[in-house]
Amino acid sequence: MIDSGSPRNAPAEAMHGLIALDGTPPSEILRRGREQVRQYGGRVVHGDVVSAESAAPSADGDLRFTVTLADGRRITARRVLVATGLKDVLPEVPGLAKHWGHSVVHCPYCHGWEVRDEPIGILATGPASIGPALLFRQLTEDLTYFTHGTDLDEDTRARFAARGIRVIDTPVTEIVDDADGALAGVRLADGQVVARRVLAVVPQMQARTQGLEGLGLPVQDLPNVGRALASGPDGTTEVPGVWVAGNVTDPVAQVGASAAAGALAGIDINKKLAIADTDAALQGIAEGSPQGPQKDLESRKSQPVTCSSHGQSSDSARPPRPPQELLMPYLANTPVEKMTRPYARRWWALLVLCLSLLITVMANTSLIVAAPT
Ligand SMILES: Cc1cc2nc3c(=O)[nH]c(=O)nc-3n(C[C@H](O)[C@H](O)[C@H](O)COP(=O)(O)OP(=O)(O)OC[C@H]3O[C@@H](n4cnc5c(N)ncnc54)[C@H](O)[C@@H]3O)c2cc1C
């Protein structure tokens, strides 16, 4: 897993909306996640990917990719899962960006409860701001919708009026802070300041694809939302061997949905690898090699997933596990075998005992039956 370590929700103090982890700081979720990946033998590499592309296939025709990091390290992989998230592009209003993730929010399910009953403003960026206005109205009686140069049709104005949502069409020129630096309101083009403690903004959401262009993944424009990588079921893409998951393909996915997408893609990748390994083993047999499958395993052993720096294997590169360890845990010296042997001996002893008893009983029975005659 290669990660530059700047997740989208980093500015937020805590993550909400995912049962059992509600209220956990994003940094803590990352820490636990990395620890758990390492517990299963996964390798976590801190770094920025600057290029990723297909490489020459392996000797048995399996796919290969080369991923290059900003510091020059190169990683070879059999398959690639892109989960680089997205970049939120905020409207250019002076003073807005510094409150992002605190008093400037975008999602009622992420931090809506925390800002309930506050005077909230919706800083509109387009039609995509209308839905969130109705959602934030559930959380406060004091909601103002700043159209900020965007169109708002009469029907929507009537619906807003019915819910007591105030609409202001004068453009916003800057965000106003109080003496402590907390958000205090917005200044309008006519100089008027409208007091607000919280602003909700729907940003443009742009998939983070910088450095991944070499993979040739199709990008799609999402009207009023932004840009995302196109994907099919289980995060599959048009590019064989490359999967996508999370916000890079689904901008509205929260943490739970993004993690679930990663799990589904991971399962699909694993299934495809198992099929590829089996195909290669079969091919080895068809080629008439007396040790077909073993030859396949050896060739894979000689081409492990590697992490190298300027062509040299880095210290952090994990040595490949021997094929027996990977594929045949029931062979010699495994815990399974150690467990089986004593039980087998006991079964033999029991069988011999039963047979002796049976012979004795039969002999006695014959005697009893024979006695009267
Ligand atoms: C302010 C804010 C608060 C939020 N609060 C919540 C919340 O409370 N609950 C909730 O469910 N959702 C919340 N979200 C949404 C949540 O952030 C996303 O759903 C989630 O982060 C998506 O996960 P992801 O793995 O797709 O992307 P990310 O979490 O953004 O992870 C992408 C990772 O890829 C890495 N990366 C990107 N490009 C490269 C590269 N070239 N090389 C190496 N690494 C790279 C990044 O460093 C990052 O670590 C919030 C969003 C924001 C903006």
Is the pLDDT at 321 greater than 60? The verdict is: no
Summarised one tens digit per residue, pLDDT across range 75-109 is: 999 999 999 999 999 999 999 999 999 999 999 99
8 A C-beta contact, residue 25 and residue 32:
no
Residues facing residue 123 across a β-bridge: 146, 201
Considering only the C-alpha atoms of the chain, give the largest distance between any 2 of them, rounded to a whole number of Å: 126
Strand ranges across the sheet with 226-229: 86-89, 204-207, 226-229, 219-222
- Determine the pLDDT at residue 324: 35
Summarised one tens digit per residue, pLDDT across range 270-279 is: 999 999 999 9
Beta carbon of 16 within 6 Å of any ligand 1 atom: yes
- For residue 262, the ligand 1 atom closest to its alpha carbon is 25
Residue 247 CB contacts under 8 Å (≥ 6 apart), including other chains: 8, 85, 86, 205, 207, 228, 253, 258
Residue 322 CB contacts under 8 Å (≥ 6 apart), including other chains: 301
Which DSSP category does 321 fall into? P
Q: For residue 314, give Cα distances in angstroms to 1, 70, 118, 197.
A: 15, 15, 53, 51
Tell me how far the alpha carbon of residue 320 lies from the centroid of ligand 1, in angstroms: 31
- For residue 11, the ligand 1 atom closest to its alpha carbon is 1
* Six token digits for residue 342: 């004593």
Cα end-to-end distance, the chain, whole Å? 85
Tell me how far the alpha carbon of residue 258 lies from the centroid of ligand 1, in angstroms: 9
User: Residue whose CA is closest, atom 2 of ligand 1?
Assistant: 9
Query: Beta strand 86-89 with 2-3: parallel, antiparallel or unpaired?
Result: unpaired
- The percent of residues in the chain predicted with pLDDT above 90, rounded, is 76
Is the pLDDT at 267 greater than 80? The verdict is: yes
Please state, in angstroms and rounded to a whole number, the distance separating the CA atoms of residues 341 and 348: 11
Per-residue pLDDT band for 294 (boundaries 50, 70, 90) equals low
Beta carbon of 73 within 6 Å of any ligand 1 atom: no
* Six token digits for residue 188: 């309008």
* Chain centroid, CA 286 distance in Å: 39
- Determine the pLDDT at residue 277: 96
Summarised one tens digit per residue, pLDDT across range 114-132 is: 999 999 999 999 999 999 9
Is the pLDDT at 353 greater than 70? The verdict is: no
Cα dihedral 15→16→22→27 (10° resolution): 0
Is the pLDDT at 356 greater than 90? The verdict is: no
8 A C-beta contact, residue 101 and residue 95:
no
Please state, in angstroms and rounded to a whole number, the distance separating the CA atoms of residues 148 and 183: 18
- Determine the pLDDT at residue 111: 93
Beta carbon of 101 within 6 Å of any ligand 1 atom: yes
To 5 degrees, how large is the angle CA 292–CA 297–CA 302?
A: 125
- Determine the pLDDT at residue 347: 63
Summarised one tens digit per residue, pLDDT across range 39-52 is: 999 999 999 999 99
- For residue 48, the ligand 1 atom closest to its alpha carbon is 42
Greater confidence, 351 or 117?
A: 117
* Six token digits for residue 121: 């403003």
Which of 56-65, 167-176, 286-295 bottoms out in mean pLDDT, i.e. has the lowest? 286-295
| Ligand 1 pocket test, candidate residues 27, 68, 98, 110, most atoms within 8 A of CB | 110
* Six token digits for residue 206: 């742009």
User: Residue whose CA is closest, atom 15 of ligand 1?
Assistant: 254
Tell me how far the alpha carbon of residue 253 lies from the centroid of ligand 1, in angstroms: 10
